[in-house]
Amino acid sequence: MEKELRDAVKKAALEYYQKTHAVKKQKVYIPASGKCLDEEDLSNMIDATLDMWLTAGRFNDEFEKRFADFLGVKHALTTNSGSSANLLALTALTSHKLGERRLKKGDEVITVAAGFPTTVNPIIQNGLTPVFADVDLKTHNISAEQIEEAITPKTKAVFVAHTLGNPFNLGEILPICQKHNLWLIEDSCDALGAKYDGKYTGTIGHIGTFSFYPAHHITMGEGGALCTNDTQLYRIIMSFRDWGRDCWCKPGVDNTCKNRFNMQLGKLPFGYDHKYTYSHIGYNLKITDWQAACALSQLKKLEGFVAKRKANFALLLEGLKPFEKYFILPEHEPKAEPSWFGLLLTVKEDAGFNKIELCKYLEEHGIGTRQLFAGNLLRQPAFTENDIALRIKNSSLLNSRDLNEEHYAMLPNTDKVMNGSFWVGVWPGLTEEDISKTIKTFQDFLSSKNK
């Protein structure tokens, strides 16, 4: 009876979906990003709702397994956002369980200022020192040469993103990290499905992070994940995610270690319940099974989503090629296979117009635009109005509140990104007609400037 009732509910939901959400509506505005949901996603979410299991459960277990299998890694762990994934990845490296390799207050982590703030925020939140390198204007990724220049005896990690799904130069950066015994965290929140030298991004460094926000390659609403091949790091990440507890049992499960009442940890009495023993100053950053159910359905469609992004990107790039005199168009490393999040353009300084003029025109004519997130994070109020210790490339220690134009000039390409770079959409919900309209709108703007 239960199965019949469950099937009836899901059938009714399918009919509802087909009569409401499946109805195609003509686009007046072409957004830069969006989600692609279907009746299978809805069915899975309803299935999870009928379980009335309100935290992570069977759908989450299945998603973590399938996600790890897809990436070809030992371990995958879900969390409530890509930003939380970044926080957990960096915080895990501060664990006492890592011995001499743990990150301690004042240690340095190399990153970039041209990107999303939650790649950098965990460095500051953990009392570490961010060291900012510049980016290349063709890939918009970190310069490998500048990583070498920025390393000091205090440098312990590199934490950077694959910008808009375009892999950074792992062929040079990974050997640098190995040479100097540095941790490498790959922020792949915008790059799910991208590859470098045949391997998925996020699987090449020590920890990879992913986001499942609606704008990303697959979605569960709010949500994210981490992956690693290191079992110790996996358990440390899980501990920080799950209140800081030492126990790695799943909710509703006890005594996985078969030693629950036979341990002596900290200064607790011998045999204190391992399920309530805490080894880290942690959080609660788990997801619900409802979210996992959506992501599990989405994962089946990921390869198709990535293929559509690549096709849309290729069409858009081909249409914009004739305008190279005005723009720096995106490129990728020879061994990189991007999974494009958007098509990033930089308006050249001699173009005869500026980025703001163009973005306003595009938006007014129904084409969505987005900045490369913070532009130059060091110019954001979060830095100019607070006292944050940092370095820029090979500088001495600086205070963010005291930075001036001479300091910003040490990251010239980052300022060029802030002033000249923006991106437009290539997500799977866009059609060839949408891409054509986007190209035509660029053409109309440029024609109006050349009259």
Q: What is the pLDDT of residues 35-61, one digit of tens each?
A: 999 999 999 999 999 999 989 999 999
Torsion of CA 383, 398, 420, 369, to 10 degrees: -30
Structure tokens at 86: 């970044």
* DSSP conformation class of 258: S
Position 19 scores a pLDDT of 81
| Active site (catalytic) residues | 216
Q: What amino acid is encoded at 369 in this protein? A: T
Alpha-carbon gap, residue 238 to 233, rounded angstroms: 8
Apex 278 CA angle, 99 and 156, nearest 5 = 30
pLDDT for the residue numbered 14: 82
Structure confidence at residue 388 (pLDDT): 98
What the block records as the tokens of 357 is: 């003029």
Residue 22 pLDDT: 74
pLDDT confidence of residue 257: 87
Non-local CB neighbours of 329 within 8 Å, separated by 6+ positions: 317, 320, 321, 345
Listed as ranges, residues in the chain with pLDDT below 50 are: none
What is each CA distance from 18 to 15, 50, 276, 397, 429, in whole angstroms? Answer: 5, 21, 48, 59, 17
- pLDDT value of residue 79: 98
- Residue 223: partners with Cβ closer than 8 Å, 6 or more residues away: 78, 79, 80, 81, 211, 212, 213, 287, 291, 295
Task: Using DSSP, state whether 364 is helix, strand or coil.
Answer: helix
Residue 210's beta-bridge partner residues?
225
The answer to whether 372 and 344 have CB atoms below 8 angstroms apart is yes
Give burial (CB, 10 Å; 0-12/13-18/19+) of 342. Answer: buried
Give the pLDDT confidence score for residue 3 in this predicted structure. 84
Are 128 and 108 in contact, with CB atoms under 8 Å apart? Answer: yes
β-sheet with 398-399: strand ranges across = 75-79, 224-228, 207-211, 183-187, 155-161, 108-112, 129-133, 389-392, 398-399
Residue spans of alpha helices (H) in 262-320: 289-299, 302-320
Could you tell me the CA-to-CA distances from 11 to 44, 58, 313 in Å, in that order? 12, 22, 37
Residue 122 carries which side chain, given as an amino acid letter? P
Phi and psi (nearest 5°) for 395?
Answer: -70, 170
Q: Is there a contact between 90 and 122 (Cβ–Cβ < 8 Å)?
A: yes
DSSP-assigned letter for residue 104 = -
Are the CB atoms for 374 and 115 separated by under 8 Å? yes
Name the β-bridge partners of 111.
132
Q: Distance (Å, rounded) from C-alpha 446 to C-alpha 360?
A: 13
Distance, CA of 439 to CA of 437 (rounded, Å): 5
* pLDDT attached to residue 252: 75
Residues 6 or more apart in contact with residue 315 via CB below 8 angstroms: 432, 435
